[in-house]
Amino acid sequence: MKRTSVTIIGMGPRGLSVLERLAAAAAARQLLLDIILIDPGECGAGVHGARQPPHLLINTLASQVTMFPASGAVQHPPVCATPSLTAWARQQGYRRVGERYFRIGGSGGYDITDGDYLPRSLLGEYLGWVCQQIVAALPAGVTLTHHRLRAVDLRQQPDHSCVIELDNGYIVLSDYVFLTTGHGGNLPSDLDAWLAKFAQDHARYNSKLAFVRHVYPVEQLTRISADARVAIQGLGLSAHDVIAELTVGRGGEFVAGEGGLRYMASGREPRLTLCSRNCLPYAARGINQKGLDGRHQPRHFTPDAVDMLRRQALIARGSSQLDFDRELLPLLKREMGEVYRATPGAAAIDDDSLFAELLFPLQGRQFAGLDGFRRYFRDWLQTDLTEARKGNLASPAKAATDVLRDVRATLQAAIEHGGLTPASHRKFLNVYHPAINRAAFGPPLRRNEELLALLDAGVIAIQSGPGSRVEIDENDSTYVLSTKFADGVAKHPLDVVVIARLDPFFPETDTSLLIRNMLKRGLSRPYYNGVFHPGGIDIDRAGHPLDGQGAALPNVWALGYPVEGAHYYTYALPRPQMRSRQVLDAERCVAMLLAKIGDNRSRRTRRRSVTSAGSHSTL
């Protein structure tokens, strides 16, 4: 029987899901596979390295994270034990001591609960453990090779097999390839390049001057001076990592008291301020009251409703593309409004007003000056924390915004593969997507409690408002944070600007040599919805990349962040007991690979039969 070679390029969580499904299929079907992993780091963890500082937290309940399929969701069962992140941490002897987690066995500290948000380093350790368990359970007919290098080029052979070049010149030949390269980085924008050059040119006059465009690994922030004035641009999850590194990471400590958290400064913290387009933090996640797999069952914003709207649009307009504002948003508002009003303590409010209040709290607001915005910022933060402490079923606001998490699959069905008109797609990603993230996919409430404590301690000060800009001061060799208010412009000098955002994936500006060479060779192309490029490479519905002429690469599949554009919200990890997108994508693509292997075997068998029959007839 002929052996089949399969290469996975990128061994973060997406690549790990593909490996898990390959292992299950190989064990069930007794396949002869040569699996090749290409990743310069440890397999499994990806960006979630096990050596990260312990004060960096995941923003999802650990009990709602797994790397294994739900029972009955896939054809072949996993080849090893399938604990969730929380179950694994307990099995490994991890316990909570204060706000830290240590492997100390059964005594001391506290049990890890289903409500804990674990350090990202433990997630990385878990992912590495999962990979080790899968590899150890591979059947005898499977070989595995890990090249700790980067793939820099890919060529397609006439038989559709692939030639992969690594960054040391080594060549890998593979029958099939999975592209699961995960998060990358873009070339700097003109603004980024200008700000970086200013820091480079003026460092001789201001030794504290720095422009930090990528915050990971956060250890690089040790170069920031303790007496520097630092602006963190972005108030999302990466911003909390930066704040933690520049406070707790420098010896500070949060102490719980009757009045809430207090921050005890070490004296080595720089002076911090926050800025972004809205200059509001992400809303805290409500305490989970839904259990491991509980979720709202929608009545209005459903896949069936989306399908019906598509049929109506096709009849009325000749196109099944939808307009999010006109056709889908009313259903989503109704869904959220019903949940809100069904929760005890809800105020009397219509669907439109509720949606605006929860997702666009600054809409229609103007501030006379910086002091007025500071008061609003603090009041908003305290109000949101009050709601988060009530929980995602008991708080009307958190119950309503949690709907946005529970209907994510419907959003994906509505948006993906050109499901919206180009103009509506653009508006959704520019307006609604960031608002949904801020309202429903924020940090654990502990993070916003810490933010409030840092404001009280004076370690963080609000020095800007909505619509702020980073400018430069040539004379003083500083950056300047500038915000227009009704009473005038507020300006604040800075020494360091830290960009606390992950780059979106735009193939033509991505720094990956592999992606750039595939574009150059015409083996991939950017995804476009009409004239709009939301990001990502183009794929067909089977997950095959499309070449420059629109033809599919039949032996290659792309999953995860490289296809964030044709797909939507590809970066969520699987949840226990649920049919999770990451697992199902891997299952679907591996099933297609198995079908191709079966077809090839059938063709070889037929050729042997014909040859045998021909040989017999001449005797």
**Is there a domain that residue 137 lies in?**
yes
Same domain as 386, residue 352 = yes
Domain assignment present for residue 594? The answer is yes
pLDDT digits (tens, 9 = 90+) for 450-470: 999 999 999 999 999 999 999
Give the chain's domain count: 3
DSSP string, 358-420: HH-TTTT---SSHHHHHHHHHHHHHHHHHHHHH-TTT-HHHHHHHHHHHTHHHHHHHHTTTTB
Tell me the pLDDT band of 600, cut-offs 50, 70 and 90: confident
**Structural domain for 542, as ranges:** 4-45+131-186+505-603
- pLDDT averaged over the chain? 94
Three-class SS state of 484: strand
Residue 114 scores a pLDDT above 90 = yes
**pLDDT value for 372:** 97
Mean pLDDT of 275-293: 94
Residues 368 and 328 placed together within one structural domain of the fold? yes
Same domain, 364 and 433: yes
Same domain, 366 and 421: yes
Domain termination site, one of 440, 458, 480: 440
> Tens digits of per-residue pLDDT, 171-205?
999 999 999 999 889 999 999 999 999 999 999 99
Amino acid at 301: F
On whether the CB atoms of residues 292 and 63 are closer than 8 A, the answer is yes
Residue 196 maps to which CATH number?
Answer: 3.50.50.60
Domain boundary among 452, 469, 499: 499
Whether residue 200 sits in one domain with residue 263 = yes
46 or 402, which is more confident? 402
Whether 434 and 449 share a structural domain: no
Q: Is the pTM of this model over 0.85?
A: yes
pLDDT digits (tens, 9 = 90+) for 498-536: 999 999 999 999 999 999 999 999 999 999 999 999 999
Read off the tokens for 489: 């412009």
Q: With cut-offs at 50, 70 and 90, classify the pLDDT of residue 306.
A: very high
pLDDT digits (tens, 9 = 90+) for 8-54: 999 999 999 999 999 999 999 999 999 999 999 999 998 888 999 99
Q: Is the pLDDT of residue 318 over 50?
A: yes
| 614 has pLDDT over 80 | no
Q: Specify if 528 maps to a domain.
A: yes
> What does the pLDDT read at residue 599?
76
- In Å, how far are 141, 380, 384, 435 from 387, measured between CA atoms? 55, 11, 5, 18
Query: Does residue 611 surpass a pLDDT of 80?
Result: no
